[in-house]
Amino acid sequence: MELYPLKFDPILKERIWGGTKLKDVLGKSITDEHTGESWEISAVDGDVSVVANGTHRGTSLSRLIEDSAGDLLGQSVVERFGKDFPILIKFIDARKDLSVQLHPHDELARERHQSFGKTEMWYIMDADPGANLIVGFNRDLDKQTYKEYLQNDRLLELLNYEQVKEGDTFFINTGKVHAIGAGVLLAEIQQTSDITYRIYDFKRKDKDGNYRELHTELALDAIDYRKKDDFRVNYSQHPDAVNSMVDSPYFKTIFLHLNKDFALDLKDRDAFTILMCVQGSANVIYKSESVSLQRGETVLLPAAIPGVTLETAGAKLLEVTI
């Protein structure tokens, strides 16, 4: 099967906290006033991405993997994950605060939900003045103290708030309580999982007048109750160079700040590569083909591709692999 740089149709998600930045800032084709997420590359059951360009247009990611797993994913990825695509890529627009939540680790997620856990990374693309995130606790806790604060509606007193600006990056371990604050637009890279334990939702109701489900009991054994300052990602931003951001067992991320054309050599990488454009634009050149990559767009480079040229006069890209 001939493979090439693949773009996918975004899977748009209406959310109670969503807004219009996915349309207004990133140019997504949406009409809803509460679109919170654009799933760019997904193999989550019920939300599998479909190719938007080239000869494989209309083909699902699952079908491509079934037909050509080694060439698409890379043999090293197949050995680890079989034919499961291990990463979920999103853009998220929070017009209002998201719920305070956390995600279980692999072992617990496998036992309870037959799923991967959910380690994730956030790159802030745009933030209103004063916008912030909730990341972790502001003190060490134990389970009993946490339960007492939660039962007395004092959970917010325990949470750590981080004010953010464009370019700030956060690595969210499983078990860490977190929430995206109002006014934040970000790129999210995560394990393929849709398992979330919601523990606080600001007493708001959905469009039908109902409170959203909380997962109080499930969360108790999944929470990391320790105060940790391990979430901000410090990375260099040297122009026209490879800048390492995250190197974890779940994904690796590189920051590319390009001011001119850049040759991306992938011949020694036995894995797929994902490029997310977070600023500017570029053309991805492979053989005689060119794929446009605008801000808010994502392209998947199959493992069989030995390299591409990125033609640009200015772009910031997140390069993601496994």
User: What is the Cα–Cα distance from 267 to 119, expressed in whole angstroms?
Assistant: 28
Catalytic residue among 95, 198, 269, 295: 198
At residue 109, what are phi and psi to the nearest 5 degrees?
Answer: -65, -40
* Beta-strand relationship, 273-286 and 289-294: antiparallel
The residue among 281, 279, 319, 282 whose CA lies nearest residue 301 is: 319
DSSP state of 50: B
H or E element in which residue 39 lies: strand 35-41
Does 120 count as an annotated binding residue? yes
34 is in an annotated binding site: no
Whether 57 sits among the annotated catalytic residues: the reply is no
Listed in sequence order, the residues at least 6 apart from 311 whose beta carbon sits closer than 8 Å to its beta carbon are 261, 282, 283, 285, 290
Q: How far is residue 166's CA from residue 160's CA, in Å, rounded to a whole number?
A: 20
Rounded distance between C-alpha atoms, residue 232 and residue 275, angstroms = 22
Give the residue ranges of the annotated binding site for Zn(2+).
103, 120, 178
Give the residue ranges of the annotated binding site.
103, 120, 178
Catalytic residue numbers read 198
